[in-house]
Amino acid sequence: MTPRIATLLLAAAVAMPSLLPAQIGRVIRRATTRAEATVNREVDKAVDQAVDCALGDSRCVEQAERDGKTVQIKDAQGKVITDASGTPVRTQADAASAVEAPGSGVWRNYDFVPGDSVWYASDWSTERVGRFPASQLEFVKGNFEIVELNGRRLLEGKTAGDFRVKLPAELPRQFTLEFVLQISYLYNGIDVMFAPGARNPLEAEGHRVALHHAPGIYAANQGVSATSSRTHIGSLMPVRLQVDDQYAILYVGSERVGQLPNAQFPRSGTIEFHIDANERNPVYIGDIVVRVGLDPLYDGLMKDGAVTTHGFLFDVGSDRLRPESSPKLEELRAMLAQHGDLKVMIEGHTDATGDDASNLSLSERRAQSVVTWLTGNGIAAARLQAAGKGEMVPVGDNATEAGRQQNRRVVIRKL
């Protein structure tokens, strides 16, 4: 919801004192739902106009690309294969990895785990196309605007420039950064710096993330831990950085492009994105999320009797565990295998988007999916229970994307 909508709702509440808080909440939810419905219609429109290709049919994808058409890839059941945010994937490699079971294939050694608490989450669904989202980002210089790309709202950069994410406090010892990125040309891209103010990335303090012809972790002009991966060129890909004190890992999709045991990422209250682009070769970025805290499950469980995690990921509106859930599932399995007398409740929670009853049912099915995975991997069913809470126990503000991110969670409780 935009600040303007929130202001109007507040003014309405002042003007009509008989309006109850519950009624205000319903108004807020309807406004939020309408905005999300608009985005969903755009995604559906993009899907309807795309060329259907079966999983594994590379010739179909190549022909569609030659014809300048958008591709959507379907599985054996005829379902469009998407990424974790619900956006259709565009390449056969991405589609193959998206349908793999957790802990299998390319995800066997995948070890990124999102932080425990959301500090920042971009939400451009209600931002005006053609404008810079000044209420969510700090503009420094360049030419940036919100655009629609394949039914998705992204920030497009057409020149060299910079913008910043302002955080509520200085980054702690443990944090994660996630976003989606597409670059158009080998030698364009972005640099992500954690201490603002450098005149150019080569002068940035400490280490930084660089995503261009050799994506990885850099210091000055040296790729300290980098690869020659090309997966982020011409295709929208998730980028994930996890920093645990001095240990850092960087992924583009399912590929680890950087790993550093002695990383020196500065800690400040600002993350600065430097964009290198031009009119012919724009850069697209979106879904920026910053989380903090990476506490092990067992420590939190023993200390507080319950621990919250955002590491279990599901298809949008579904109870299918995505392969990106691999590290958190394995951590939970290993904890239960090591502590044979431990019994736990797996509790699913959703945000307030959509119907209450549907959210409750979805949260129950998602909790059961985690239990099913555990029993299929050696944990006795008698030690596990599943429960769904739907949207009934929010921990964040459902009127903001950061709050909704907080509310979409799994809680593990000691029994």
**Rounded distance between C-alpha atoms, residue 69 and residue 153, angstroms:** 19
Choosing from 88, 108, 128, the residue where a domain stops is 108
Residues 131 and 272 in one domain: yes
Q: Nearest-CA neighbor of 162 among 111, 198, 119, 210?
A: 198
Same domain, 151 and 262: yes
Q: Which of 107, 71, 63 is nearest to 89 (CA)?
A: 71
The pLDDT of residue 232 is: 77
Cβ-Cβ contacts under 8 Å for 64 (sequence gap 6 or more): 51, 53, 70, 71
| pLDDT for residue 300 | 87
Shared domain check, 319 and 279? no
Same domain, 171 and 317: no
CB atoms within 10 A of CB 168: 10
Of the pLDDT bands very low, low, confident and very high (cuts 50, 70, 90), residue 175 is: very high
Looking at residue 132, the DSSP 8-state letter turns out to be: -
> Do 24 and 54 belong to one domain?
no
Share above pLDDT 70 across residues of the chain, in percent, rounded to a whole number: 88
Residue 270, SS3? strand
Domain shared by 94 and 139, yes or no? no
- Considering the domain architecture, whether residues 151 and 241 belong to the same structural domain is answered as yes
- Check residue 49 and give its pLDDT: 67
**Strand ranges in 253-282 using DSSP code E only, listed in sequence order:** 255-260, 270-276
pLDDT, tens digit, for every residue of 253-286? 999 999 999 999 999 999 999 999 999 999 999 9
Average pLDDT, the chain: 88
Chain CA centroid to CA 229, Å: 21
The answer to whether residues 317 and 402 belong to one domain is yes
* Boundary of a domain, candidates 263, 292, 321: 292
State residue 408 phi and psi, 5-degree precision. Answer: -80, 95
Last residue of a domain, one of 252, 276, 292: 292
Three-state SS at 204: coil
Residue range 361-369: average pLDDT?
Answer: 97
233 contacts: CB under 8 Å, gap ≥ 6: 183, 184, 185, 186
172 and 126, same structural domain? yes
Number of domains making up the chain: 4
Residues 190 and 218 in one domain: yes
Q: Hey, what are 45's tokens? A: 């429109």
Residue 263 contacts residue 109 (beta carbons within 8 Å): no
Q: Is 33 helix (H, G, I), strand (E, B) or coil?
A: helix
236 lies in the same domain as 253: yes
Residues 243, 226 contacting (CB under 8 angstroms): no
> In this structure, what CATH number is given to the domain that contains residue 144?
2.60.120.560
358 and 274 assigned to the same domain: no
Q: What is the CATH number of the domain that holds 350?
A: 3.30.1330.60
- Give residue 7's domain range: 1-48
| Amino acid in the structure at residue 228 | S
Side by side, which strands form the sheet with 216-219?
Answer: 138-141, 161-166, 270-276, 189-193, 208-211, 216-219, 222-226
| Cα-Cα-Cα-Cα dihedral sign, residues 229, 233, 236, 242 | positive
Provide the pLDDT for residue 293. 92
pLDDT at 26: 45
How far is Cα 64 from Cα 69, in angstroms, rounded to an integer?
Answer: 5
